Amino acid sequence: MRKIYLHVIMLFLGILGAQGQIKSKPDLDGSGNYQSRKLKIDEINLVSAYYGQTGNNSAVTGGIGTEKLTDFANTIDIQMSKFNRMGKKNTFLFELGIDHYSSASSDKIDPSTISSASSADTRIYPSLNWTHSNESTGNSFGFTGSYSGEYDYQSIGAGFNLTRLSADKNTQFDFKLQAFLDTWTVILPVELRSGGDRELKSEGTSPRNSFSSSFSISQAINQKLQAVIVVEPSFQKGLLATKYQRDYFTDGSLLAETLPDQRYKLPVSARLNYFATDHILLRSFYRYYMDNWGIRAHTAELEVPVKLNSFISISPFYRYNKQTGTRYFAGYGQHTPGTTYFTSDYDLSSLSSDFYGAGIRLAPPGGVFGWRRISMLELRYGHYSRSTGLASNIISLNLKVK
């Protein structure tokens, strides 16, 4: 984990040094309207986050047992742009993410081993987006390609994004389309492996494909109030169950988690941003979620950024979620024999949760800690708890270089 962090830091510092050598072309005619056609770095963001959770409803062991997990995540994104001969802007956004996690519950896939292969793993996920935009109208379109890989999972993604603004630029329409083609390595609990062969690590591979879309309309109602409505239908097909998660039945029998091979999801959300004063912004959010597995959920959130002075702000927030679980869920030893689909994953159960915390943002005109290239530093902390007993903490650091 330490090596991963150091590698990301060194990459960040190397890019920072390179950016310091980029010189802008002088405005030869004094008009101030010159737009360079050379590719230039607009900004760089480095985000590091540490997440830790505890709980006693592990799906790996049938809904009981430790849910202890830690995750150390690092992402770096570099935004570059250039103008073509027609004065249109081409923006390139490259992002590289590296997560390292350890999961005590995954160590129970085969308790006889010192450590299961998936009890600690590293996920790497690069992506590249190209967006072509007309700055005079605000209209744009673009494409994204992505990859994600870890021990038992590989994913290739592609996406399309489109933005259209009204003539007065008070109304904005955004459309996104994404597809992810995934391949799972099918790993069963040790008791269920073919022929009782404890050494057989997997049952081959299985596909899972996900297709999602997003339609949003943003409206500036007046100088103080802005509203956004978002609809995000999606569809999944393939292996949607996690096969190394156990399910226990009332007769004492044991099977691997089994769920339908298709899932439709429909989240609908709305945001309202209200500028109460020059120093206080109210950000409210509501989302309703439904799917064909029977899950229904309501989420409400309020964040209140407060500007303490020209370059320091704090942002306390609170989010509440209430969920009605899937019809396929039952706790440890409570599934009925002969049932077609079953899971003891408490993420799919009926629950309520609270998430609260705060962030502090520094953006001094002279740069953070006097380093002019670092234009912003943001530190955020959040605590999550839910009715099933799971609790977690997350702290993140974001640095922006201009």
pLDDT for residue 397: 97
Looking at the chain, the whole-number percentage of residues with pLDDT higher than 70 is: 87
Looking at the chain, the whole-number percentage of residues with pLDDT higher than 90 is: 75
Specify the pairing of strand 234-238 against strand 140-150. Answer: unpaired
Measure Cα distances from 314 to 96, 98, 187, 308, 357 in Å: 28, 28, 45, 7, 11
**How many angstroms separate the first and last alpha carbons of the chain?**
28
Q: Which residue has the higher pLDDT, 107 or 91?
A: 91
Q: Which residue has the higher pLDDT, 105 or 325?
A: 325
pLDDT for residue 18: 40
pLDDT band, very low/low/confident/very high, at 103 (cuts 50, 70, 90) = confident
Least confident of 22-36, 353-367, 370-384: 22-36
pLDDT band, very low/low/confident/very high, at 198 (cuts 50, 70, 90) = low
* CATH, range 2-15+38-401: 2.40.160.40
pLDDT for residue 23: 39
277 pLDDT above the threshold of 80: yes
Kind plus residue range of the DSSP H or E element containing 10: helix 2-19
pLDDT for residue 303: 98
Kind plus residue range of the DSSP H or E element containing 305: none
How far is Cα 268 from Cα 230, in angstroms, rounded to an integer?
A: 6
Q: Which residue has the higher pLDDT, 373 or 232?
A: 232
Tokens 């996406």, located at residue:
159
Q: Both tokens of residue 318?
A: 């609170």
Q: Are 123 and 98 in contact (CB under 8 A)?
A: yes
Measure Cα distances from 282 to 91, 238, 398 in Å: 31, 41, 22
Overall pTM > 0.75: yes
pLDDT tens profile 210-262: 999 999 999 999 999 999 999 999 999 999 999 999 999 999 999 999 999 99
pLDDT for residue 40: 93
Q: What share of the chain is helix, strand, coil (3-state, %, to 5)?
A: 10, 55, 35
How far is Cα 247 from Cα 201, in angstroms, rounded to an integer?
A: 19
Map out the domains of the chain as residue ranges: 2-15+38-401
Q: Which residue has the higher pLDDT, 209 or 151?
A: 209
Amino acid in position 221: I
Specify the pairing of strand 262-275 against strand 254-256. Answer: unpaired
Q: Both tokens of residue 344?
A: 């003891």
27 pLDDT above the threshold of 90: no
pLDDT band, very low/low/confident/very high, at 193 (cuts 50, 70, 90) = confident
Q: Which residue has the higher pLDDT, 192 or 388?
A: 388
DSSP state of 372: T
pLDDT for residue 31: 42
Amino acid in position 289: Y
4 pLDDT above the threshold of 60: no
376 pLDDT above the threshold of 90: yes
Q: Both tokens of residue 16?
A: 């920072």
